[in-house]
Every structure is written in structure tokens, then in C-alpha cells.
């Protein structure tokens, strides 16, 4: 095939619109935390519903002409400006007002500011909410305005802020409009960490309240629709939770929500997430059976799924068939299933219900597509990403050249296509060629975006070319007019770590804050890493404390582990143990990385007794739980680094019994112990153990168990020992003449 393309969106941005930047007095220049709404109204306020989520044309509490005439002059002026859509003038009037405007003015102003969908509008709307919260006047706001603020915050990337508004509305007796709360669920489902789980919690919080009403028409505007279910199903797909996916899918008819093409696109993601490549074709066939109009996103999702499985051959066959105008894609995918081994049948019952057509597939011929579909640049780019992932740079470039000469303009390379090629060169370490592609984009009039520049920044940092990265940052802002985002600075901070420049990392962190960019969890953790590697655990701890105090981010186990690592690198075992206890107190369970850092700290501090305590805890976590036993904390699967470090400590300290337990654990987990290293340690440190013939009988009795353990360890190593004869001896064994 001449043309060859990666995933539905090869590169995505983690850009975040920040909160207002105000600095505290700390040396590191932290931005102070915004105030999250803790309560929207008093508990005694009557139950109210959000009637509409449309722009603030008719606020729920607008006033009649007579009521308007009775308002103070300042409020009359403000309300007139708002009705005339003069939002900027209305904001100025609000800031100059000597008293708090009435509820109608406040709700309408908050709505119009939120509806602007701009950073300044959102910041102003948040300031109104903060003021009312501080003055305990949140009851002045109606549900429409709060719903619009939640949507605006979600669109701006302030997902946790948006979720806090919706949760507060629910606690206060409001039921938000479905378009408001489902927008927040959708954003949560797409975020990392616990975002999908939080999305499902929010979805169920709303639906529980909706079910309490015996008359559905009372809550018609809040009932989940197909889009809301799709957002929740996407959260299940991201979690790989097939059972919850099926449960939600079965609930859709209860609310009159019909699955649409997006529902099945999410199902494709679920199949890919749980490794069911054999079911992808049946999702496509199910769409055709139900008469749902196929979209290009479905076809692109299928190509992306096969690329994700590393099955570039099937992805190529799909693309080639579309280029030839063929409609038998289902047959191609079925043939691909027969040529490859079937995936494991885990969750079989779930998929039998979701895709009943997969059970009777052998009874019917694969259906044809209703029409021929032509590949667009997105599908080609998806396949290109597949080539990039496996290092086929030549194929990636060849495909770009072919796309340039396509007759169909929809197949011409766009900024995502060029960015994919740049990624391929960056991955191969060819920064000069990557920059030439960037220049080519300018020449042909395809503007690069922030993602393109971030990939180049990462390439320079990986090549330890920090000066070139700084120059590119300047070009990005000055020449291309693209302001760097928090991802750009995270890349640069990490680059400084690679060249052991903790001061430079802190400088970029402070520059990011100066620009008003809110740090993400990665920002904090990366800066902690810089201080940990440079032997400054107290500064790492200071960064961590600020992270805990920032409500926009949630410290996870990775951040906790970085703090443990900072102290363990200095051999400060007691401090590290205190942090591990805090980890447990905060509801986390130490993982292999936590224990590995502590083991390294113990080795550095030369405290073998601590290694025994650590091994006992690790051993208990590795034990297979019997039926009926609780699995809290969860079972631990140790890695080579942790067990090898513990065994090394025990061998050096002559704790041979524990060393044998550890190497047995290594073998049980398929980790080959380094016998050569342990033999060398034994010969150098312990070969003369138990060789004295002048020890008292009491001393000899005390060391019997140790001697047995030592002999057993020598037996495991293959050294001469008391368990078998040998032609040679390192040293005479007690009792030998």
C-alpha cells in the first residue's frame, strides 16, 4: 500500500486556564488558592429547579417593570445594562457599586460573564461567587447562573471547580439542568487520576435525586439524556469497567435515552481497553444492524483501536479498502479475527449482552456498509501514528509526501499530520529534521499549534539541549504568537532535572507562576523530583505541602513517593518512615516504589535491622490471601529492584535466613537472583565465619542457628558447605580436622 497513518488524536493538550494569580510570601512564589463554593444556599431555602441552561436571556428571577422601578438607582442602571447585553459596562458598574446588588442583577451578571467563555469573564464570575461566599450571601444566586458558571469552568479546564459547584447545588436542593451537570461529568470522565471515578459518582448523585420524584415531568430538564449517558459510559470505558458499563447501558431506556453512534464509539474504546480486539468488528456490525448513521469518527476509532493493539496490518487493510471505495469492511475485520488468535473471553457475559450479534456471528454473512467512505486526513494520521510508535520513520514521511499530492482536499495533511511527523523525528532523535518539518508547515500555510512546539521542546530536553529549548520557547511566544502553557513549563522543568539543574527548574516554575499559569500535579511532582535529586529534601517537602494546600490538584501516591525518595536519597530513614505512615493515614497503600525507595535509604544508612522490619511488611503484602480474608491492604507484587536491595542488605549483614526467604520470593515471582553478586559478597565478607576453634561452648551454642542458615545459604549459592562433600574448601568447617 502506498499510503500509510495513528490514533484519533495523536496528540492532546493538557492546557489549563488558571485561577487569578496572586502570590504569597513564600520564596517559591506560590499562587494563593481560590475559594471553592462550599454551600450555594442555606439548607432552609425552598427546593428549586434549573429551568434552562441557555444563555442568560431570561434569568429565572428577572423582574417586572414595576419591580424594576422600585429598585435602587444603582441596581436599575445595572439591570438595564445587563438587559442590553452591555456586559463590560455592567461589570464596571458592579465594581463601582457601594452596596451588594439585588439577586436578579447578581444572577444575571454571573450568567452573562460565564456565557462569555473567556478567561477574563470566568475570573470575574468566580470573584462574584467568592465575594458572596465570604459575605454568606450565596442565596442571592439562582440555579441558572450557577449552572452556567459550572459549564464555563469545565470548558476552561477547571474541572474540580466545576464539580464543586454542581455538588454544592445538589447539597442545597438544586437540580441542575442536564446540559450543565453532564458537561462536568464529561470533562471529569476525560481527566486522569480519579476523574472517571468522580464522574460516575456525580452521575449517580444526580440520577438518585431524579428518581426520588414520582412525577418525571417535574425533573424533565435534569433527567439524563443520551449525551449524559455517553459521558458516564466514557468514564467506564476509561476505567475498563465492563460491568458498570453494562449497568449504565441497560439504564438508558428507563430515561428514554437511545444509544447513538457516539455510544458505540465509546464501546469501541471499551473493547480496546479490556483487550477484546475480536469484538471490534461486532460493534461496527451492531451500528449497521440498528440502522444508526455511521460517522467517520467510528471508522477512525476502529483504525485507532487496531493501531493500539499493534495490528498495523489490519489497520492498513481498512485504510486501503476505504481508498478503493469498498464497502466490505466487516468481512475484512472478520477475516482478520480468523487469522489471529482470539482474545481471552473474560467478561464474556457482559459483551454477550452488549453485542448479542457477536454470539450468532457464524449464522449470517457480514453486512456491507451503506455506502463507500473515503479516508480523510484524520484516518491517515491515525495510521501514521502507528508507524511512528513502532519507529517506522520512513513510512511516516512517505505517507506525508503522498498526502500532499491527494486530489481530495479532505485528505491533505493538516497540523495534526505534520505534528505526527515531527513526533516521529523527535522520537528518533533527529531534531534538525523535526525543525525542517516545522519550517515546512510555515511555508505551506499550516500553522503549528502549542502541541507542536511542546513536542519539539521535549525533544530538545531529551537531547539535553536546554539552550535550544529556551530559544524555541522564545520563538514560540514572539514569532508564532503562541503562549506556552503549563505543559510547556513542565517539560522544561523536567529538562533541567536531566542536566542536574534544580535552580533552573525552580526558575521555570516561578516563571510559569508569574505568567498566571496554575501548576498541575505534574508541575509539583517534577519540581519535587528536582529537589530530591539535588539532595534538598526539605525543599521537596515544602513543595509537597503547597501541593496539599492547592485545591486544584490532588496529591496522589506518585507525589507521596517522590517525598519518600527525597529523604531516602539522603539516608534519612526515620523521616521517610514518618512520611510512609502519613501515606497510610491519608488512605493510600505504599506500593513497590515506596518500599523500593525505603530499601535504598536503609542500605545507604546501613541499618540492616530496618530492612528486617521492611521485609516482614513486604512479605505480608505478598502473601496470597485465603478465602474469606480481607484484601486490605491489597496484595503487592514485588519487583526486582526492591527484592534485590533487601537481599543485598541481609547478605551483607549476615542475615542468611532472611536472605533465603527473599531469594525464594524472587524465584516465585520469576525474578532470577544475582547469584554471582551474592557469592562475591559472601566470599569477601563472610568466608571466615565460624572458623574459630577457640570459641567457648556457650558462644558456639548461640551461633548454631546462624551457622545453619549460613550453610543453607552457601548451599543455595553452590559454595562448599556441610550439606554435601566437595574436593575443595574455602576455609575449614568447624569439626573438620
pLDDT of residue 52: 35
- Whether the CB-CB separation of 601 and 611 falls below 8 Å is answered with no
In this prediction, residue 631 has a pLDDT band, given cuts at 50, 70 and 90, of low
For residue range 20-75, what is the model confidence (pLDDT) as tens digits? 333 222 223 333 333 334 333 333 233 333 333 334 444 444 555 445 544 567 78
Read off φ and ψ for residue 223, nearest 5 degrees.
-65, 140
Q: Is the pLDDT reported for residue 290 higher than 70?
A: yes
pLDDT recorded at residue 696: 64
| Model confidence pLDDT, tens digit, residues 671-680 | 999 999 999 9
Task: Place 138 in a pLDDT band, splitting at 50, 70 and 90.
Answer: confident
Does position 405 have pLDDT exceeding 90, yes or no? no
Prior bond of 500 cis (ω within 30°):
no
442-453 average pLDDT score: 92
Of 139, 65, 129, give the one whose Cα is nearest residue 79.
65
Helices of type H across 12-101: 65-69, 73-83, 87-96
Confidence of residue 724 (pLDDT cuts 50, 70, 90): low
What is the tens place of the pLDDT at every residue in 650-663?
999 989 999 999 99
What are the sequence ranges of the domains in the chain? 75-305, 606-622+635-720
Q: Which residues contact 495 (CB under 8 A, 6 or more apart)?
A: 457, 458, 460, 461, 462, 464, 466, 469
Percent of the chain with pLDDT over 70: 84
Closest CA to 529 of 458, 593, 485, 457: 593
Residue 30 is predicted with a pLDDT of 32
Between CA 410 and CA 441 the distance in angstroms is: 17
Q: What is the pLDDT of residue 551?
A: 82
pLDDT of residue 384: 93
Predicted local distance difference test score (pLDDT) of residue 143: 87
* Mean pLDDT (whole number) for 687-706: 67
Q: Which of 10, 158, 13, 32 is nearest to 484 (CA)?
A: 13
Instruction: Output the pLDDT for position 705.
Output: 77
Matching residue, cell 530536553: 461
Q: CA–CA separation, 622 vs 668, rounded Å?
A: 11
What's the whole-number mean pLDDT along residues 456-460?
A: 96
Mean pLDDT to the nearest integer, 332-342: 79
Q: What's the pLDDT at 7?
A: 34
Give the whole-angstrom CA distance, residue 293 versus residue 182.
24
Percentage of the chain with pLDDT > 90?
61
If one counts every other C-beta atom within 10 angstroms of the C-beta of residue 683, the result is: 13
Helical H segments across 586-727, by residue range: 592-605, 608-622, 640-652, 656-668, 675-686, 697-702, 704-717
Tell me the pLDDT band of 396, cut-offs 50, 70 and 90: very high
Residue 625 pLDDT > 80, yes or no? no
pLDDT of residue 539 exceeding 80: yes
Q: Model confidence at 717, in pLDDT bands (50, 70, 90)?
A: confident
Q: Could you tell me the pLDDT band of residue 713, with boundaries at 50, 70 and 90? A: confident
Backbone Cα Rg of the chain = 32
Q: What is the mean pLDDT of residues 487-509?
A: 94
Per-residue pLDDT of 86-95, as tens digits, reads 999 999 999 9
The residue assigned the cell 533541567 is 496
* Integer Cα distance of 551 and 23 in angstroms: 16
Residue range 552-566: mean pLDDT, rounded? 91
- Determine the pLDDT at residue 192: 77
Query: Using CA atoms, how far apart are residues 489 and 473, in angstroms rounded to an integer?
Result: 9
- pLDDT (average), residues 359-387: 89
Look at residue 716 in the predicted model and tell me its pLDDT.
Answer: 86
Q: CATH assignment of 75-305, given 3.40.50.2300, 2.60.120.10, 1.25.40.10, 1.20.58.390?
A: 1.25.40.10
Q: Is the pLDDT of residue 430 over 90?
A: yes
Predicted TM-score of the model (pTM): 0.76
pLDDT tens-digit readout, 97-106: 888 998 999 9
The reported pLDDT for the residue numbered 341 is: 54
Region of poorest pLDDT, from 15-24, 121-130, 609-618: 15-24
Q: Which of 18-32, 224-238, 469-483, 529-543 has the lowest mean pLDDT?
A: 18-32
pLDDT of residue 568: 95
145/108 Cα distance (integer angstroms) = 7
Model pLDDT, residue 2: 42
The answer, yes or no, to whether residue 524 has pLDDT greater than 60, is yes
Residue 110 in contact with residue 149, Cβ under 8 Å?
Answer: yes
At 628 the pLDDT is 60
Shortest CA distance to 125 belongs to which of 135, 115, 114, 133? 114
Highest mean pLDDT among 309-318, 632-641, 725-734: 309-318
15 against 387, higher pLDDT: 387
Q: What is the per-residue pLDDT for 19? A: 28
Amino acid at each position: 500500500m502506498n499510503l500509510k497513518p495513528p490514533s484519533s488524536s495523536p496528540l492532546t493538550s493538557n492546557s489549563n486556564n488558571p485561577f487569578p494569580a496572586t502570590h504569597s510570601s513564600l520564596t517559591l512564589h506560590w499562587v494563593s488558592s481560590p475559594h471553592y463554593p462550599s454551600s450555594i444556599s442555606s439548607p432552609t431555602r425552598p427546593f428549586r429547579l434549573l429551568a434552562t441552561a441557555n444563555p442568560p436571556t431570561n434569568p429565572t428571577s428577572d423582574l417586572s417593570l414595576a419591580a424594576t422601578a422600585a429598585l435602587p438607582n444603582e441596581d436599575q442602571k445595572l439591570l438595564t445594562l445587563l438587559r442590553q447585553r452591555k456586559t463590560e459596562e455592567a461589570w464596571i458598574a458592579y465594581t463601582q457599586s457601594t452596596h451588594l446588588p439585588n439577586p436578579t442583577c447578581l444572577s444575571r451578571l454571573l450568567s452573562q460573564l460565564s456565557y462569555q467563555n473567556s478567561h477574563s469573564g470566568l475570573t470575574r464570575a468566580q470573584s462574584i461567587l467568592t465575594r458572596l461566599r465570604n459575605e454568606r450571601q450565596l442565596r442571592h444566586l439562582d440555579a441558572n447562573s450557577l449552572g452556567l458558571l459550572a459549564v464555563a469552568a469545565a470548558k476552561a479546564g477547571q474541572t474540580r471547580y466545576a464539580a464543586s459547584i454542581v455538588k454544592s447545588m445538589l447539597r442545597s436542593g438544586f437540580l441542575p439542568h442536564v446540559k450543565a451537570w453532564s458537561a462536568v461529568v464529561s470533562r471529569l470522565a476525560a481527566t486522569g487520576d480519579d476523574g472517571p471515578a468522580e464522574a460516575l459518582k456525580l452521575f449517580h448523585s444526580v440520577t438518585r435525586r431524579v428518581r426520588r420524584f414520582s412525577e418525571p415531568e417535574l425533573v424533565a430538564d435534569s433527567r439524563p439524556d443520551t449525551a449524559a449517558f455517553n459521558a458516564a459510559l466514557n468514564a467506564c470505558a476509561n476505567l475498563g469497567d465492563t460491568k458498570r458499563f453494562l449497568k449504565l447501558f441497560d439504564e438508558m431506556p428507563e430515561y428514554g435515552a437511545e444509544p447513538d453512534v457516539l455510544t458505540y464509539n465509546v464501546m469501541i474504546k471499551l473493547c480496546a481497553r479490556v483487550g477484546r480486539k475480536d469484538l471490534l468488528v461486532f460493534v461496527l456490525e451492531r451500528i449497521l444492524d440498528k440502522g444508526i448513521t455511521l460517522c467517520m469518527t467510528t471508522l477512525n476509532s476502529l483504525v485507532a483501536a487496531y493501531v493500539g493493539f499493534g495490528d498495523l496490518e489490519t489497520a492498513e487493510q481498512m485504510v486501503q479498502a476505504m481508498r478503493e471505495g469498498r464497502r466490505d469492511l466487516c468481512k475484512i475485520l472478520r477475516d482478520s479475527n480468523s487469522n489471529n488468535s482470539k482474545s481471552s473471553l473474560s467478561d464474556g457475559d457482559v459483551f454477550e449482552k452488549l453485542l448479542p450479534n457477536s454470539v450468532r456471528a457464524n449464522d449470517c454473512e457480514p453486512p456491507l456498509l451503506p455506502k463507500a467512505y473515503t479516508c480523510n486526513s484524520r484516518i491517515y494520521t491515525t495510521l501514521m501514528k502507528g508507524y511512528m510508535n513502532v519507529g517506522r520513520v520512513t513510512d511516516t514521511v512517505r505517507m506525508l509526501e503522498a498526502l500532499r499530492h491527494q486530489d481530495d482536499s479532505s485528505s491533505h495533511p493538516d497540523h495534526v499530520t505534520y505534528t505526527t511527523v515531527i513526533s516521529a523525528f523527535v522520537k528518533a532523535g533527529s531534531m534538525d529534521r523535526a525543525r525542517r518539518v516545522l519550517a515546512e508547515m510555515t511555508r505551506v500555510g499550516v500553522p503549528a499549534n502549542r502541541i507542536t512546539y511542546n513536542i519539539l521542546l521535549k525533544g530538545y530536553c531529551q537531547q539535553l539541549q536546554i539552550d535550544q529549548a529556551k530559544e524555541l520557547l522564545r520563538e514560540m511566544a514572539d514569532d508564532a504568537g503562541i503562549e506556552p502553557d503549563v505543559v510547556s513549563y513542565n517539560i522544561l522543568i523536567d529538562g533541567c532535572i536531566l542536566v542536574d539543574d534544580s535552580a533552573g527548574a525552580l526558575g521555570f516554575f516561578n516563571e510559569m507562576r508569574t505568567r498566571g499559569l496554575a501548576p498541575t500535579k505534574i508541575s509539583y511532582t517534577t519540581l519535587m523530583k528536582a529537589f530530591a535529586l539535588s539532595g534538598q529534601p526539605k525543599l521537596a517537602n515544602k513543595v509537597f505541602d503547597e501541593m496539599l494546600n492547592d485545591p486544584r490538584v490532588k496529591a496522589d501516591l506518585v507525589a507521596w513517593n517522590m517525598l519518600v525518595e527525597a529523604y531516602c536519597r539522603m539516608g534519612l530513614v526515620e523521616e521517610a518512615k514518618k512520611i510512609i505512615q502519613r501515606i497510610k493515614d491519608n488512605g493510600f497503600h505504599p506500593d513497590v516504589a515506596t518500599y523500593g525507595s525505603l530499601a535504598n535509604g536503609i542500605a545507604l544508612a546501613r541499618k540492616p535491622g530496618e530492612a528486617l522490619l521492611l521485609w516482614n511488611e513486604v512479605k505480608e503484602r505478598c502473601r496470597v490471601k485465603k478465602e474469606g480474608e480481607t484484601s486490605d491492604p491489597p496484595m503487592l507484587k514485588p519487583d526486582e529492584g526492591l527484592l534485590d536491595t533487601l537481599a543485598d542488605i541481609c547478605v551483607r549483614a549476615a542475615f542468611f535466613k532472611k536472605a533465603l526467604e527473599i531469594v525464594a520470593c524472587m524465584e516465585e515471582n520469576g525474578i532470577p537472583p544475582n547469584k554471582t553478586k551474592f557469592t562475591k559478597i559472601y566470599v569477601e565478607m563472610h568466608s571466615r565465619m565460624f572458623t574459630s576453634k577457640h570459641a567457648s561452648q556457650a558462644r558456639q551454642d548461640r551461633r548454631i542457628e546462624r551457622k545453619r542458615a549460613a550453610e543453607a545459604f552457601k548451599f543455595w549459592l553452590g559454595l562448599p558447605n556441610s550439606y554435601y562433600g566437595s574436593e575443595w574448601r574455602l576455609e575449614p568447617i568447624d569439626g573438620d580436622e
